[in-house]
Every structure is written in C-alpha cells, then in structure tokens.
Amino acid sequence: MARILVVDDSKMFRMLASAPLTEAGHTVLAVDPLSIFEVLKALYAFNPDLVLTDYWMPNCNGETLVKVIREDPNFHNVKILVCSSHGEESLVERMGQLHINGYILKGKGMQSLVERTAQLV
Amino acid sequence: MSESNATILVVDDHRLTAELTGMALEASGFAVLIEESGAAALALLAGDASIRAVVSDMNMPGMDGLALLDAVRQQGFTQPFILLTGQDETGQLARHPGLDAVMTKDETVEEALPQLLADLLGRAAPAPAAQTGIPAALPGLDLEHALKSLNNNWATLKMLLDAFREEYLTAGADYRKLRDAGATGACLASLHSLKGAAGMLGATRLPSAIADLEQAIAAKDDLACWPPFTTALDELLEGIQGL
C-alpha cells in the first residue's frame, strides 16, 4: 500500500478523496495548500509515493506545483495524479506535457480515484 | 424519526475525540452531529428539534459540560444529557441536577455509551450498522457506487454525507446572493468547488445542473438555471437529512 499526499483547497474534497483511499489501505495525508511552501513542507515530511492534486487552487497553482515536484531530484519517483472538475481538451493536453502520471475528473467519482491510484502505486 | 437512527449531539472541544465518539455511536445505528463548543451546541439545539440526546465532554474552555447542561435545561431541552469525564469526577458529578448519566472516558465508552443511550431512549440495544441503517436508495445519489468505493463502509459514507450537508446546507441561497451582488467570480468558484465535491460523492443530478448554471452565468443568461440547481441540491440535502 502507498503513501498518498492529497492537495486541494476544498476541505470537502480532501475528505472525499482521503476516505476511499484510506479504505483501500493507503496511508493518506491531506493538506490545505495555503501556499506552495506548505505543500513542499508536507512533501518533505511525508515523503509520499503519489501526489493527488487539484489544478485550480487560489494560493497554489497545480501546474506550478507539478513543475516544482518534477524539478526536485528528491521526488523523481513520485507519481502525480491531477484531479479536477475541468475536462477541457486543451487543459488535459497541457497537463500531459507536464509529465504527470494521470489526469482524472472529480465527476467520475470516488471509485474512479481508487482504481486510477491502484494502477499507479 | 425512528429510534433506530435517533440523532445524538456530541460536544467536545477536541474534534478527533468527538469524531471517535461519533463513530462508536454511528456504528450502533445512531445519527451523530458534532459541535466543538458549548455555545455552538446551544445554537444547534435551539434550531434542531430532531436531537434526541446530548453527549458532552466535561472539560472544555469557556462553557464546560456542566455549564452547558444548565444552559440547555434552561433552554427547555428535556432529552437525555450524558457527561463524559475523568475517572475522579464521576461520583461528584452524578448528583448534579438535570444530568442523566456520567461516564468515564476510557476504553469502555465505545461499547457502553451506545447501550446507555439505547437504555435512556427506551429502546432495545441497537443493531450494528453493518446489518441495518443503510437505505435502499438516496435521491440524487448513486448510493451503490459510493458504498462500493468505500469498501461498503456505511459509517464512513454517512460521515461524508453529513459533512457534505453541513458544508453546503445554505449553498443555494449563498451562491445566489453572490451572483446578485455582482461577485460573479466568487460565485463561479464556489459552484465549481461544489460541483467537484458532488461529483466525487456520486451525485447524479447536481453536477450537471451546476455545469449548466456555470455556462449560463458565463453567458450572463442564468436566471432560468438557478431553480434546477437548487432543486437538485435540496433533493440531495433532504435525502441526507432523512437518513
């Protein structure tokens, strides 16, 4: 089972992501991204196998977060799954260029999250 | 409301302790509401006639458990009130007027508290939620899908549903006010967040109603899209309340 860091500014979403992943046997830490530094602190302290992050967040842009993780040699093996309510093709394409490991829509539900996570870790 | 899912208000300034107490009660078929202060508990009790009993921590900053007891009795609440406290205080506190029971906070609470509540509410010991308490359907939600994604853990789904209801209880009116006040960006951001949460939860009608509303707001032609949104939201919230 994996260590999963959940990053989302919505408290409700953090609960809705943490619950099924915990039920699936993973160790989950959910953080409120008050700034990108808060997320980085959690990354170093928790040392996750996978980061599940929202894209649109007011204080911590998901795209910036992905770039920062990918540029840090400490996190070369960390898988990144972006989860968003947006499904526009252009955004999905842009995410693909960021070397993330998957992109899922919140509208697909908790089961989709559990299944996609299981494929990656 | 039937006794099998009587609503219990748990009051504890430590959220985690309150949630653990709540989980023990939910596992026995009770519905649970949590407040983290006496003042918040009083406000909730004043507006929610469905609460059948209060389980309160003794030691809380500001209003402690006994002060809360006195206040709720003055407020006219006559249902059972149970105080959770440390080992040394039980004898002294048990004599306090208006108190139905004192229970020591230790490892026996998980089993003893649901039984005590069952006795006080005058009903048989509750059956585990794994066997009862799961509704056949919930309007506006793919219940089967949601349960499956949580390893069929009804207590966890119930906790998420209650949290969802608490978070978005006044969202319909609140978001409309934002729109009417010209705060379109804030309105859209709030709708977007709700759409994500509803989609994750497995709501069947609400996400598409929000998507329609988002598009209509962007096109500045949204008047007709508010009623379908509030109808879908209310349907889900009322379904959760009825659990």
Is CATH 3.40.30.10 correct for A3-106? Answer: no
| B11 and B113 part of one domain | yes
Q: What are the structural domain ranges in chain A?
A: 3-106
pLDDT band per the 50, 70, 90 thresholds, residue B68? very high
Query: Residue B228 corresponds to which tokens in the numbers above?
Result: 């379908």
pLDDT of residue A88: 62
Cβ separation A109–B148 shorter than 8 A: no
Give the distance from residue A55's alpha carbon to the nearest chain B alpha carbon, in angstroms. 12
Considering only the beta carbons, identify the residue of B159, B168, B196 that sits closest to A106: B196
| B155 and B115 part of one domain | no
Asked if residue B113 lies in contact with residue B104, where contact means CB atoms within 8 angstroms, the answer is no
Q: Residue B107: inside a domain, yes or no?
A: yes
Single pTM value for the model: 0.62
Q: Residues B211-239: pLDDT tens digits?
A: 999 999 999 999 999 999 999 999 999 99
ipTM: 0.87
| B93 and B20 part of one domain | yes
How many whole angstroms separate alpha carbon A116 and alpha carbon B199? 16
| B90 and B150 part of one domain | no
User: How big is the CA angle at B211 (ends A30 and B183), to the nearest 5 degrees?
Assistant: 80
- Please state whether beta strands A27-31 and A3-7 pair in parallel, antiparallel, or not at all (unpaired): parallel
CB-based contacts of B180, cutoff 8 Å, min separation 6: none
Asked if residue B54 lies in contact with residue B72, where contact means CB atoms within 8 angstroms, the answer is yes
How many domains is chain B built from?
2
Compare all CA atoms of chain A with the CA of B204 and give the residue at the minimum distance: A107
- Mean pLDDT estimate for chain A: 88
Which residue, among B12, B21, B14, B31, has the nearest Cα to B240 in the 3D structure?
B31
Give the distance from residue B60's alpha carbon to the nearest chain A alpha carbon, in angstroms. 25
Q: Residue B138: inside a domain, yes or no?
A: no
pLDDT of residue B1: 40
Considering only the beta carbons, identify the residue of A12, A19, A54 that sits closest to B167: A12
Cβ separation A12–B151 shorter than 8 A: no
| B81 and B154 part of one domain | no
Give the distance from residue A104's alpha carbon to the nearest chain B alpha carbon, in angstroms. 11
Compare all CA atoms of chain B with the CA of A10 and give the residue at the minimum distance: B193
Q: Residue B125: inside a domain, yes or no?
A: no
Contacting residues of A for B200, CB less than 8 Å apart:
13, 16-17, 106, 109-110, 113
Q: Residues A15-65: pLDDT tens digits?
A: 999 999 998 999 999 999 988 888 999 999 999 999 999 888 888 888 899
The residue segments making up the domain with residue B32 are 3-120
- Please state whether beta strands B7-11 and A27-31 pair in parallel, antiparallel, or not at all (unpaired): unpaired
How many whole angstroms separate alpha carbon B151 and alpha carbon B164? 19
Tally of CA atoms within 13 A in the half-sphere of A57 that contains its CB: 29
